[in-house]
Structure 1
């Protein structure tokens, strides 16, 4: 009776939150499929064996997983040691170790992998808890333990099996029903994806022993993971940026892959607009230098993304692996073995014709949604190509910065216009800084890397951008003569400017232009235009700057009727909590614009010494 009431209350909440007329339910199962039932069922190892034998890419990846597993055997078992308020690093390592060891045992039958996996799971089972106050930790720990339990089920000792199963239930699944911890069910970001995936793996692992609890958890996930999946619409742009795509989307793929394997259905989730398009977003977020466009709480680092093999397979589009190809083409795969989901690349990618990975057809990708972005380049194959990334959106999005209207630019294998990206959370939280507020007065905006003073955008009268504001990509073009994107930023500067529109583009495959058109309110207004760079900066005259790096030169040239003052600003912190930003500086200009006045600023970023003949027209004439 109590369980029926729980189910009734839960699904009433689901309908309220998601707007679904009817909740998704899984079909009744008289008998759950035999173990292993998660991701890779019994007998599917043979297809992997054939791929490993026939293809040197999969052979090298397979061998890298085995070598990493041998290394894991020599390490101490995991211990419950928090970093600040998080156990997350241990949870992630739990996934890596048990995914790798279980794969190694299933593919080789070598008992050393089985014994070490069992030892690891018993050690994690003895933790006092898996840190439910930061539920991502529980989700990752549960996923790792569930893969090990399910994949090694027939070989684990009866005593170990009981201990591990009870740990998954008591330290993984049961805390997810506690209202202190399960707020992730109503989240529209990566927490929902990661936590629902982890809980679903736990539910699938112990389903025959706890069928009612497992069914409830799986149906709960099916009905609530649609919330973050809805934020990919309409084009696949991921609201939280590159690094969090690799977190939230990868776990969403882990969830979908496991659900389809267990039930033979995606329950309609893949009809969510934009989700199957999001592989193109990630691919276009990497520039010719190999670094990502690191807006928001993200870093520039890139690595192989196993989830991209799932998207390439589902879309039957090997070109989605163009960026991944650079990781596959190397001779040494050892650096890939820190990716905890690496076995997934083989599971999802083994049937993809890797010899047909061609460059994407388009040099421009634009996505709307909570964090609209325009990404354009002159070539996918030339390492010296021009690359331009432009971001609109709102500071109110999870993990967002006050970077609306910001851009990055690469040319000649150098990133000339950069983004500082993220600061490690514990370095701030340990000093009492509240990192995650989203109101206008949140302490988050006192963190240098997160406010507009530290981004390649405009600052008006020394004020912050408005959290409540939102800008979309209003127009764009993929014409090779003039690739561009335009965004009206006015709501982000409401009460600071009457209007402000920014357009960015690549002209004739030769140089980049950034044009701002603004109108002031009834008072003189000081505009600051900034661009972060790691280049050496030389102000040549009143409207020209030379930037030099790695033996190359980029010219920054400003056109305006106003008397702009070219300047540089330090990027180094002035507080005890902000991270240092060595080797970088801000270059740009300040100008005071009279009251009720319309003004334009056109900045060109010109590779080497080129004579520019093209006149940049007003934004309403960009065609």
Structure 2
């Protein structure tokens, strides 16, 4: 038997060798262009002229520019940030630092008004004086380093020698050096947003102080090029982002910040943007927003859609302004004040490519299907009609980063109302502060007791009051863009293995008039109870044996069970079950339960009929095998 101490040494050595091999670097920079002088991050010297031309040619861009400058003026009177940590995170401070410094530096670059430079320098010196940037939660360091790097680079030629020295030292000691410590850099080996954000932040820091620390800077940039490939493989094959809308806005945005800065400085992105699926992910994001402007907020995501600066980078790279249809709407219908909390907002103008906002045309396709770890089917009847029907369905697995037990779930809109909704995320600190074991995704873990995270409150099936299987995965098995029967189907059996012998779900928009949700099930050798649920913000009224009336904002929707004939229509409370659960006011769970005999084949067919189609004659829905492919 190997002594415990010797075994530990052997394991430590093996880990070191493995890690070294994993992170063995290619000198990507050896053949790259010489790094330009400051300013070199995102916007080279003199490129402000292009932004000024864009602003002067388009009133919508001018309003956004004025909104950013107005926020810069508001920041002048605010005290500098303090190192305030909440729980395990300094992240709120880091994000505000990035917002302030990016805005003020933009204000200085585009107006040369010294008040913005002075205020940015004040913020940079305050941040640099923090005891540390909280390396134990490295996202905090990454965003803070990006903030300070942008400010240092964009103000470089106008900072005093003392300020330059102080800020540069902070980037080195509080940003870059901690990233070399194995206690803090496990993000180098993971495939989610942490890798993207942290590699971007470290690269910005390295590029900012490149001339003073050339070898270290090269090491960090080469390391980033080598390792950011890991999360970029998650977009394969055609762009669906596994972590959903909210984390696309985080991980993908910082991935784009990385690519944009590297390409601007070195005249190449080292082939990274050609990774399978990455450039197509803009289609995923555009289709993830419904006519209401709200997001398909599965997994840990907020409901409210936001302006996405990264979409302008994708549109520029692909030479396809139609990718900006949703962003067009946000810029034209929402005031600039709506967007000033977005810490990457100035990048929108950097990547604008001079596009005229009002001239952007709608996309041609009304359906998009993405495969990969979290496959989705996103369909609508129109891009320009605010009352259009929108249905978005997901497959995937609860074992994905930030996932919920929402496999087979969907959201649905019609007449400007989101009738079928998703709670989305709960604030992490609200759970962590109460010692919830939030990040343990195993089947029996406490994570799945959090009210918003399990299948009981999602628009999917619950079998015998059991949780979905964490290790199960559902794929999109077929789809059709046929305008009279636009549909997609998914195979859910792995998610319900042991509880069902077969489980397929299909969702369709029929004749651009109503929605069908059809589940085809086979039961095992025992009686099975199936619960079908729809989470809604509407008022709910059961009006018959198979009909439920939903009303909201003066509009109505009929939920009708076409089959089976005998179901028990129900509503369930959304009152939280634990003291750590977030409240859910104004929401109701509705649907039905049905007991199925052993060894039987059954179809559950539900119609979601908007008010304007209430009198339409609806034929019996065909089996899934007969749906258009």
Bucket of the pairwise TM-score, normalised by the shorter protein: over 0.9
Question: Could you say which residue in structure 1 is the equivalent of 2:372?
Answer: 369
Going from structure 1 to structure 2, the CA distance change for 1:99 and 1:521 (only over 3 Å counts) comes to: same
Q: Check if 1:230 corresponds to 2:233.
A: yes
Partner of 1:12: 21
Asked if structure 1 preserves the Cα contact closer than 8 Å seen for 2:33 and 2:267, the reply is no
* 1:48 and 2:80 correspond: no
- Do the aligned residues in 2 keep the contact of 1:318 with 1:354 (CA within 8 Å)? no
Return the offset for 1:368: 0.6
* Number of the residue aligned with 1:150: 153
2:299 is aligned to 296
Cα distance, 1:326 vs structure 2: 1.4
The corresponding residue for 1:82 is 85
How do 1:245-324 and structure 2 match up within 5 A?
A: 245-324=248-327
324, 336, 339: which one aligns with 1:336: 339
**In structure 1, which of residues 565, 573, 588 is the aligned counterpart of residue 576 of structure 2?**
573
Deviation string 1:192-231 (CA, Å, 9 cap, x unpaired) is: 0000000000000011111111001001100111111111
Structure 2 SS opposite 1:68: helix
Secondary structure in structure 1 of the residue aligned to 2:220: helix
State the superposition RMSD in angstroms.
1.6
Could you tell me the TM-score, scaled by structure 1's length?
A: 0.96
8 Å CA contact 2:564, 2:605 repeated in 1: no
| Contact 1:236–1:275 (CA under 8 A) maintained in structure 2 | yes
More divergent stretch after superposition (553-562 vs 288-297)? 553-562
Q: Which residue of 2 aligns with 1:519?
A: 522
The DSSP-based 3-state class of the residue aligned with 1:601 is: strand
What pairs up with 1:79-228 in 2 under 5 angstroms? 79-228=82-231
Cα distance in 2 for residues equivalent to 1:449 and 1:301: 17
Deviation at 1:13, TM superposition (A): 1.2
Distance 2:550 2:36 in 1: 63
Q: Note the alpha carbon deviations across 1:283-320, whole angstroms, 9 max, x for none.
A: 11111111111100111112211111001111111111
Q: Residue in 1 aligned with 2:618?
A: 613
Q: Who is 2:508 aligned against?
A: 505
Per the TM alignment, residue 562 of structure 1 is displaced from its structure 2 partner at its CA by 5.7
Shift of 1:30: 10
**Counterpart for residue 587 of structure 2:** 584
Counterpart CA distance in 2 for 1:9 and 1:462 is 44
Per the alignment, in what secondary structure is the counterpart of residue 329 of structure 1? helix
Q: What is the CA-CA distance between 1:339 and the residue it aligns to?
A: 1.1
Secondary structure in 2 aligned to 1:349? coil
Classify 1:334/1:523 alpha carbon distance in 2 versus 1 (closer, same or farther; 3 Å): same
Aligned 8 A contact 1:476 1:484 in 2: yes
Q: What displacement does 1:561 show?
A: 3.6
CA distance in 1, matches of 2:501, 2:537: 33
- Displacement of 1:28: 6.2
- Aligned residue for 2:566, secondary structure, equals coil
Deviations 1:542-579 (CA, angstroms, capped at 9, x unpaired): 11111111111211111224621111000111211111
- Asked whether the 8 Å contact 2:67–2:336 carries over to 1, the reply is yes
Once the 2 structures are TM-superposed, how far is the Cα of residue 31 of structure 1 from its aligned partner?
Answer: 6.2
Deviations 1:70-123 (A, max 9, x none): 111111101000111111111111111111111111111111111111111111
Aligned to 2:542: 539
SS of alignment partner, residue 551 of structure 2: strand
Q: Secondary structure at the match of 2:30?
A: coil
Give the drift of 1:354.
3.1
**Is contact 2:148-2:171 (8 Å) kept?**
yes
Give the 3 Å change call, closer, same or farther, for CA 9–28 of structure 1 in structure 2.
Answer: farther
The Cα shift of 1:438 comes to: 1.7
Structure 2 counterpart of 1:478: 481
- CA apart distance, 1:611: 2.9
Other-structure match for 1:18: none
Does the 8 A contact of 2:245 with 2:295 survive in 1? yes
SS state at 2:281 partner: helix
The one-character-per-residue Cα deviations of 1:100-152 (angstroms, maximum 9, x if unpaired) are 11111111111111111111111101111101111100000000000000010
CA distance, structure 2, for counterparts of residue 471 and residue 540 of structure 1 = 34
Residues 456 and 530, structure 1, Cα contact 8 Å, conserved in 2: yes
**2:411 counterpart (404, 408, 411):** 408
Q: Does structure 1 retain, via aligned residues, the 8 Å contact 2:34–2:266?
A: no
SS at match of 1:415: strand
Within 5 A, what are the aligned runs for 1:592-611? 592-608=595-611, 609-611=614-616
Deviations 1:269-291 (A, max 9, x none): 01111110111111111111111
- The question of 1:468 aligning with 2:471 is answered yes
Checking the alignment, whether the CA contact within 8 Å between 2:392 and 2:411 is kept in structure 1 is: yes
- Counterpart Cα distance in 2 of 1:364 and 1:9: 44
Inter-CA distance 29–321: structure 2 relative to 1 (3 Å threshold):
closer
Where structure 1 has 5 or more consecutive residues not aligned to the other structure, the ranges are 1-6, 16-21
State the distance in 2 between where 1:523 and 1:562 align. Answer: 21
Shift of 1:355: 4.1
Please state whether the residue corresponding to 2:413 is helix, strand or coil. Answer: strand
User: Match for 2:446 among 443, 448, 456?
Assistant: 443
Rounded to whole Å, the distance in 1 between the matches of 2:281 and 2:31 is 33
Q: What CA distance in whole angstroms lies between the structure 1 residues aligned with 2:100 and 2:556? A: 46
The match for 2:456 is 453
Q: Contact 1:406/1:456 (CA < 8 Å) preserved in 2?
A: yes
What is the number of equivalent residue pairs in this alignment? 612
Where does residue 242 of structure 2 map in the other structure? 239
2:380 touches 2:388 (CA, 8 Å); kept in 1? yes
List alignment gaps of at least 5 residues for structure 2.
Answer: 1-15
1:422 and 2:462 are equivalent in the alignment: no
Distance 1:403 1:89, change over 3 A: same
